[in-house]
Amino acid sequence: ITEKKMPLDEAIQQSIPVSMADEKTMQVLHALNQDVSAQVAINEDKPSSINDLYPITSITPYRNDIVVTTNDSIYYCENDRIQWMHEYNPVSKPYVWDNFIVFQSKMLQALDTKGNSKWEIEIEGSIIGDNIVPIRDKLVVPTTKGIIYFISKNGTILHKVNCDAPFVTRPVSFGQMVCVVTADGYLYAIDVVLGVSIYRKYIGKVLDNGIFANYPEMYIVTPASIQKIHLLRDEIIWKYDNSGIVAAVEHPQGILFATANGTLGKIAANGTLEWQINPGKEIRSLQYTPKGIVCIAENVFYQISDAGEVLWSYTLPALNSEILSVTPKTVYIRLGNSFFALRL
């Protein structure tokens, strides 16, 4: 780490186009280790703040607080101060459901926000990433065994549906159904009330988390196209071809997508390409937030408006970075085993 230091606000301003610096200069909320290029401090004896946790694997916002996981523990933090912790090994990324923190270690379990155990149940397979979702009054939990569990708030397994292959998309709500796509290319629609599969169709390879639903229509994103279908009529409304699609997220008025050659674009709900820009290759961590679009391309973080205008950017000190979590005010970014926060 160099001895020469630059004020953070000056460093950020240098990463913003000059024409926007006067209006769009963003301040770093704080470098949680006081230097964004340094490792997070480790206090193995008695961690008391988020600064002491290492390595952080996930951050989940809950109201004004955050739930943080490391390789072997889960922590509840208020104003970056640890309120309580439990040791689990391993621990999946938590999902906050009302006042419950739901995650998987050896069992699927729920804690309240005070750290008290509410229930735990045994399930087959593992949960990956953000795949736990609430639909109606149930928690929908897909696992690596190709099984979807429907679980009540008191921890009762209401239904269990076997789709015979691992899932490549998280469940999406579709009227009274939940839809998922499996690794062998089948789209399933499962009745949430009855807990039975009522629709199964081969659609081929889709992107990870590449389906988005707006009943009775659905977007399906593959590596070569984006299409909007009317699922009940089994017809294609429109199709947009673009080879090399690597990521896509839903936008209130369409779909955002990124390609392998560094293009970021927006498709409107009617299938029109509204805009596209080229922030850089290796676009990842693409997300839509109420304050616009965020992503990382190569080693640069971007915040982009709905119209495709780069609002501001920040050059990260290394390539191996990803967005851990986005709250209404803050974006948490992991950089190797350290992390820091930027204010949106």
Residue 234, φ and ψ in degrees, nearest 5: 55, 50
Q: What is the pLDDT of residue 46?
A: 66
Each residue's pLDDT tens digit, 200-259: 999 999 999 999 999 999 999 999 999 999 999 999 999 999 989 999 999 999 999 999
Band (pLDDT 50/70/90 cuts) for residue 27 is very low
In tens, the pLDDT along 129-146 reads 889 999 888 999 999 999
Read off the pLDDT of each residue in 149-162 and give the average, rounded to a whole number.
96
Query: Which tens digits make up the pLDDT trace of 296-338?
Result: 999 999 999 999 999 999 999 888 899 999 988 889 999 877 7
The whole-number average pLDDT for the span 183-207 is 95
Class of residue 138 by CB neighbours under 10 A (exposed 0-12, middle 13-18, buried 19+): buried
Average model confidence (pLDDT) for the chain? 86
Hunting for tokens 């008391």 — which residue is that?
48
Q: Where are the domains of the chain?
A: 123-204
Domain 123-204 belongs in CATH node 2.40.10.480: yes
d(CA 227, CA 244): 15
Q: Amino acid identity, residue 325?
A: S
* pLDDT band at 270; cut points 50, 70, 90: very high
Q: What is the pLDDT of residue 38?
A: 33
- What mean pLDDT is predicted for residues 50-68? 89
Alpha-carbon gap, residue 284 to 205, rounded angstroms: 20
Indicate the length of the chain as a whole number: 344
- Look-up: residue for tokens 């469940």? 171
Q: Judge whether 165 and 205 are in contact, CB under 8 Å.
A: no
Residues forming a β-bridge with 226: 221, 240
pLDDT at 54: 82
Q: Which residues lie closer than 8 Å to 316 by C-beta, 6 or more apart?
A: 296, 299, 300, 301, 333, 335
Residue 34: predicted pLDDT: 35
Task: Please tell me the distance from the alpha carbon of residue 253 to that of residue 333, in angstroms, as a whole number.
Answer: 27
CA distances from 108 to 45, 62, 69, 180, 306 (A): 29, 19, 15, 21, 38
- 286-295: pLDDT as tens digits: 999 988 999 9
Give the residue ranges of DSSP H helices in 39-196: none
Beta strand 81-87 pairing with 95-97: unpaired
pLDDT digits (tens, 9 = 90+) for 92-125: 999 999 899 999 998 999 999 999 999 999 999 9
- The residue type of 127 is I
pLDDT band at residue 7 using 50, 70 and 90 as cut-offs: very low
Closest CA to 297 of 238, 222, 246, 226: 246
Coil vs helix vs strand at 250: strand
Largest CA distance in the chain: 65
- Which pLDDT score, from 0 to 100, does residue 198 have? 94
What CA–CA distances, in Å, run from 333 to 321, 322, 343? 7, 6, 11
Please give the radius of gyration of the chain, using alpha carbons only, rounded to the nearest integer: 21
Long-range contacts (CB closer than 8 Å, 24 or more residues apart) made by 111-115: 111/74, 111/86, 113/62, 113/65, 113/76, 114/84, 115/76, 115/83, 115/84, 115/85, 115/86
Q: How far, CA to CA in Å, does 246 sit from each of 120, 143, 249, 256?
A: 36, 23, 11, 11
Q: In the predicted model, is pLDDT for residue 26 greater than 60?
A: no
Distance from CA of residue 55 to its chain's centroid?
19
Instruction: Provide the pLDDT confidence category of residue 45 given band limits of 50, 70 and 90.
Output: low
Share of the chain above pLDDT 90, in %: 71
- Residue 16's pLDDT is 41
CA distances in angstroms from 116 to 61, 88, 205, 263, 308, listed in the order given: 19, 14, 42, 46, 45
